[in-house]
Amino acid sequence: MATIDGRPAQYGITLKQLREVMEHRGREGVAKIIEFGGVGELCRKLYTSPNDGLSGSRSDIDHRRETFGSNVIPPKPPKTFLTLVWEALQDVTLIILEVAALVSLGLSFYKPADEDAPVLQEEDEHHGWIEGLAILISVIVVVFVTAFNDYSKERQFRGLQSRIEGEHKFSVIRSGEVCQISVGDIVVGDIAQIKYGDLLPADGCLIQSNDLKVDESSLTGESDHVKKGVDIDPMVLSGTHVMEGSGKMIVTAVGVNSQAGIIFTLLGAAVDEQEAEIKKMKKGGEDGRAPVKNMDIDSLPPSDGLKSDSDGNHIQQTSSAVESSHKKEKSVLQAKLTKLAIQIGYAGSTIAVLTVIILIIQFCIKTFVIEEKPWKNIYANNLVKHLIIGVTVLVVAVPEGLPLAVTLSLAYSVKKMMKDNNLVRHLDACETMGNATAICSDKTGTLTTNRMTVVQSYICEKLCKVLPTLNDIPQNVGNLITTGISVNSAYTSNILPGVNPGDLPNQVGNKTECALLGFVQGLGVKYQSIRDEITEDKFTRVYTFNSVRKSMGTVIPRSNGGYRLFSKGASEIMLKKCAFIYGHDGTLEKFTRDMQERLIREVIEPMACDGLRTISVAYRDFVPGKAAINEVHIDNEPNWDDEENIMTNLTCLCVVGIEDPVRPEVPDAIRKCQRAGITVRMVTGDNINTARSIASKCGILRPNDDFLILEGKEFNRRIRDTNGDIQQHLIDKVWPKLRVLARSSPTDKYTLVKGIIDSTVSDNREVVAVTGDGTNDGPALKKADVGFAMGIAGTDVAKEASDIILTDDNFSSIVKAVMWGRNVYDSIAKFLQFQLTVNVVAVIVAFIGACAVQDSPLKAVQMLWVNLIMDTLASLALATELPTPDLLLRKPYGRTKPLISRTMMKNILGQALYQLFIIFGLLFVGDWILDIESGRGQDLGAGPTQHFTIIFNTFVMMTLFNEINARKIHGQRNVIEGLFTNPIFYTIWIFTMISQVIIIQYGKMAFSTKALSLDQWLWCIFFGIGTLVWGQLITSVPTRKLPKILSWGRGHPDEYTDAMNLGEERFDSIDSDKKPRAGQILWIRGLTRLQTQVIGGELQERLIPVPYSKSNTDQAVRFLQLSSLCYYCFVLETN
């Protein structure tokens, strides 16, 4: 018989049987497991030990992987480069250009039969095709550049996604040792430890559990937490969140065989099926299908992907839910960019259309009215050339380089931020952080080191400022304290020796529990030997810690009958539950109200004022026989669900003060935030005195400031009206001065964050960042503009809800995120300042040129080259500037401040005036000044002239030198500063300059240029350098005196959501009469490509669906539910 690692190779249960087991829930699940002989027998069939787990040998793990599959869900293959090229070709303006270029090409070879046709020079006949070909080549270059950018972006995102995936680790038991392994390494048969806050990476059956509650909404759609237990519902599923309690499970299904995996497989099949269906419908669109009107969602056929069970755990998706699932909250920058893109686009298209109309009218009047010539086929060529000029104006006007600038800037920043311990999960969080005006931070682990130690204790009416020894404590009290702490802590909390002999011990698990376990060790007792004696399976009941209880309790059987309850928690809460206390020499005393108040006043408050977290340990005995004064007599097992009566009349054993020192770098980081105009608030569950002490040490509270420090209860009292409802106007009275919120619940944190974001008290609206580590911080992290989760102490649920993960749990990393965020915002503003100057000049020159000289001084190919300079090359150059500390010396922009400030608009208009003056000067009198042949009034077939070549060259020189000006957007005079610290910038600048020389000297017919002499080159460069001198003059003009109307791109996400949803073809109403016009959709789709392409749309859809990443399962379920709706919407569209 074949063996693997000393055991039979054939398992006692098959993959199919395991999948069947996991399809049952509740009592059915219990019955199914009993059919297989119980969980113990299941472990034996899978050759694993409930206590020691798998051996962990390579051959065993590999064999399990081969038999039951690995714990990964294969990603959708990435789009190929050719697919991306095809997608880039779908751009409407490019299609128009391609068609026009092809027509132009065809007409250049067309020789009309009419004899009256003017005889063109032989050379022109030879070169007539060059312009059409040059435009086609330019379009191909643009397409390939776009496709390459998309391709590299996709690769970067996949790299980022796999990094996030790699961060997800899980606790399993192998060879009797608890170890953290990557979720991809989990195999069937592993014994996994599950605890509060975990995101389950595989399906399993519970072996043991304590007060376990799971959020299965990602799979079932039901928001209620499901109670799990070996006897009530032992099945735990991948992709679900542990909201309370702890336990141990045997892994029974992984990867595509798990419940989440099955849904992903269905999702993949549904996507392929739907894509095929849409293609089929596009081909056979005219099959006489009637349009669907006023369709009711309930009438849709149900999807086969999910079967609803008898418990009613099915998804109820109402139309409003469908609607809301379509709408995405847009980031601050996205909103401003959208408005700007739409405004620029409308202006550009208007001028483009006018240019074409004027050119065609002038040509028609001159040819057919004044010269009275009859129509000839050759004139079609003239009309096509006029159309090409118009389309080129549109190409130059629409800032399609913007998505590239945004993406490059974000991707570059994200890469660099990883080195600064910021793992960015959502790209737009990067730039939003630059606008942050408020940070609501946790205390523990973020502002403090999260390395906790007990430094003071109060036992038997004796306050010790140093650690006592076991001999200082009465024996009976000492035994109760050490047993109570050892047993009433999660068994995943441990103190391990340091890696090197001199290192501090390594605290694993909950840090507060580790501090208490360290206290037990300090008393000279080995907590592990107590745990070995009282194993977890002996526990009668566990009341796990949560934000409502603020305490934890464990019930164990007593050796001589009955039960003992150990409890620990926040001291002021625990003391209210205590009726007895041990006095001098361990004598039991009644704990009166006066004693409680004295203890709080003389012990707990002084500890808290020293910045210590105070924890009380207490116990209670339930005995079958005669009960002592502090015991309870019982005849039967108490009702453990009656928590209120169980957790009362406790006996207080001790109060300890736990120190968690402030991180040394935090006060300086908070000073930087305050200097940068960011208000830091501490939101903590700790005692108000502890919070005040730590906030003062950090610098959140400054001596002369007018600030508020509130407890959760008082905060709620102030913000609620007489009916108990939260009122925004009441929150607005509290939050501006609030600096510390103590004893707060996660709901308080969410309320505060929402209140600040929704407030309109400040002019520019607040942008709020939040840090969190607990499962219950999820709502606040999601609501915040930027949610920071702790990479070390954070639960999986918090990480899933966050935008950025702090891999070192350190507040100073947030300051680095602010700096990078501001840099992104500034990089995009620099690019806009540069690009809009070029846009304004190119469009006006083409328009006025068309009106005045019946030709555009800048030819189509030349404009496409300028477009390449200002789009791809400039975005590369300006988007890769490194951040400087100066970024933290200005106030944040906030939510509604215009994207283009008055200073930027002053630079744009000022430079545009200079450039237009030079270009029109050269156009109308340049031939006379420079003594060259005029290019005005030339025939359509005439070759290039030096006159128009000088205009083109001067324009490019001014554009290039203005790129140096564009590096500064806040009115700084020294535009050269930091130029040589950015090699990308000066490399691109030099490359562009060399390319321009080649184009001018050797471009000839292809670029409509004629070689220039040295004198003419010097004139062009002289005019170019003039932009730097002119820039200094513009800087001298005081910005404050300019009208506010000059600031542009003011925006708030809510205002433009509808416009963006048009661009993404998302319509709230299915009624055809309410649909936007096709032209509108086409236009906005083209313009808002930067949303879908850059921040979350197309690209995020192309990402790997990471197993169990943020609401992936929700999306899968929602997709299956909505696929038929999409189908009908498409039918409606096509009809």
Closest CA to 167 of 830, 1130, 1129, 1109: 1109
Instruction: Give me the catalytic one of 60, 198, 428, 442.
Output: 442
Q: What angle do CA 477, 483, 487 make, to 5 degrees?
A: 150
The 3-state secondary structure of 580-602 reads EEECHHHCEEECCHHHHHHHHHH
**What residue type is assigned to position 347 of the chain?**
A
List Cβ neighbours of 14 (8 Å cut-off, separation of 6 or more): none
Do the Cβ atoms of 563 and 638 come closer than 8 Å? Answer: yes
SS3 content of the chain, % helix, strand, coil (to 5): 55, 15, 30
DSSP, residue by residue, 1000-1030: HHH-HHHHT-----HHHHHHHHHHHHHHHHH
Q: How far apart are the first and last CA of the chain?
A: 66
Closest CA to 544 of 591, 489, 607: 489
For 713: left if phi > 0, alpha if psi spans -120 to 50, otherwise beta; the answer is alpha
The 3-state secondary structure of 638-661 reads CCCCCHHHHCCCEEEEEEEEEECC
Do the Cβ atoms of 755 and 765 come closer than 8 Å? Answer: no
Do the Cβ atoms of 941 and 128 come closer than 8 Å? Answer: yes
Q: Using CA atoms, how far apart are residues 751 and 767, in angstroms rounded to an integer? A: 15
Q: Outline where 930-982 has alpha helix (H).
A: 946-965
Do the Cβ atoms of 551 and 569 come closer than 8 Å? Answer: yes
Strands 453-459 and 650-659: antiparallel
Cβ count near 505 (within 10 Å): 15
DSSP, residue by residue, 711-745: EHHHHHHHHB-TTS-B-HHHHHHHTTTEEEEES--
Q: Which residue reads 């523990």 in tokens?
A: 444
Q: Give 177's Cβ-side CA count (13 Å radius).
A: 7
442 is catalytic: yes
**What residue type is assigned to position 372 of the chain?**
E
Q: What angle do CA 969, 973, 978 make, to 5 degrees?
A: 75
List Cβ neighbours of 241 (8 Å cut-off, separation of 6 or more): 197, 198, 199, 200, 214, 215, 218, 775, 796, 797
Across-strand partners of 191? 173, 250
Phi, psi of 560 (to 5 degrees): -105, 30
Helices 1078-1087, 332-364: crossing angle, 10 deg rounding: 120
DSSP, residue by residue, 44-102: HHTT-BTTTBB---HHHHHHHHHHH--S--PPPPPPPHHHHHHHHTT-HHHHHHHHHHH
Residues catalogued as catalytic: 442
